[in-house]
Amino acid sequence: MVRIPGGTFLMGGDDPDGRPEDGEGPVREVRLEPFLIDPACVTNAQFATFVKESGYETEAERIGWSFVFHPFATRGVMDASVPGASWWAGVEGATWRSPEGPGSSVGERQNHPVVHVSWNDAAAYAAWAGKRLPTEAEWEMAARGGLERARYPWGDELAPKGRQRCNIWQGHFPTAPSKGTMPVKSFQPNGYGLYNVAGNVWEWTADWWGTEWQPYADNPMGPAEGTGKVIRGGSYMCHDSYCNRYRVAARTSNTPDSATGHTGFRCAAIL
């Protein structure tokens, strides 16, 4: 794990193309104790070890289906969709083992981030590993890599010198082809040594969703409990024309029992 020194940092953003309705601002000082965090998201190989040793069954496996990006779904498509997001398809048999549904596997994606894991699944893995999920403030401090008020983990320019620094949507969304997830250590790490904190997969955090600044020591952006858990970082489906939430300050949420083909997690721990 990577040691994050703690201290005070400026959390949140006021980007001109930001989403104030998501509670990205105001920019405020947050102080944290030093902590540890995984340099990369939990991989399919790591999650497979957890399942083998614990016998754990994910919520998507128990329910029998999960949401898959529609172009990736070829079998088992159900009459289930997300309002306003027609590119999602409910697929029977879509699980972390079979990310696109029946006939798919993670055989050649052992070092890709595990997906189709709910918040509850992520928390179970973290507890098994002797870790925990990072708070939202911890996630953002670590993702910033020591940079102050930068838009991205590497600076303010999305593609410095024309070089792509993260796995986000290329071309017109949602019709252009996509490769989906990439290995967890794709691209260069940030200043703290964290990989892919922008794009690739959304990452679960410990905190409940809130959209107004609250001075809670353990959760500076939300209530003590609520209906959704905060996810950070964006995914391979994010694009400037639709969802530019691969910025460090960006945030959104999902219910703790939800699972999709573009959400994973990394763990944190106390020093």
Give the SS3 label for residue 211.
Answer: coil
What pTM, to 2 d.p., does this model score?
Answer: 0.93
The number of CA neighbours under 13 Å toward the Cβ of 146 is 9
SS3 string, 47-96, reads HHHHHHHHCCCCHHHHHCEEEEEHHHCCCCECCCCECCECCEEEEECCCC
Sign of the dihedral through C-alpha 120, 122, 128, 134: negative
How far is residue 199's CA from residue 166's CA, in Å, rounded to a whole number?
A: 6
The number of CA neighbours under 13 Å toward the Cβ of 247 is 25
* Residue that is written with structure tokens 């964290």 in the block: 194
The per-residue pLDDT for 174 is 74
Any domain includes 11: no
The per-residue pLDDT for 45 is 98
Residue 197: pLDDT band (50, 70, 90) is: very high
Burial classification of residue 269, based on how many CB atoms lie within 10 Å of its CB (0-12 exposed, 13-18 middle, 19 or more buried): middle
Any domain includes 82: no
The per-residue pLDDT for 222 is 53
Number of domains the chain contains: 1
Cα-based distances in Å from 220 to 5, 12, 109, 170, 211: 19, 10, 36, 33, 10
**What are 237's strand-pairing partners?**
none
- Calculate helix-pair angle for 119-128, 44-54, nearest 10 degrees: 70
Any domain includes 83: no
Any domain includes 5: no
Any domain includes 8: no
Any domain includes 240: yes
- CATH number assigned to the domain comprising residue 199: 3.90.1580.10
Chain centroid offset of residue 42 CA: 11
Cis peptide before 26 (omega within 30 of 0): yes
Any domain includes 68: no
How far is residue 237's CA from residue 39's CA, in Å, rounded to a whole number?
A: 22
**What are 94-133's pLDDT values in tens digits?**
999 999 999 999 999 999 999 999 999 999 999 999 999 9
The per-residue pLDDT for 214 is 56
The per-residue pLDDT for 271 is 87
The tokens for 136 are 């939202």
* Residue that is written with structure tokens 């609250």 in the block: 214
Any domain includes 204: yes
The per-residue pLDDT for 81 is 65
How far is residue 80's CA from residue 67's CA, in Å, rounded to a whole number?
A: 9
Domain containing 163 equals 22-56+111-271
**What are 133-170's pLDDT values in tens digits?**
999 999 999 999 999 999 999 999 999 999 999 999 98
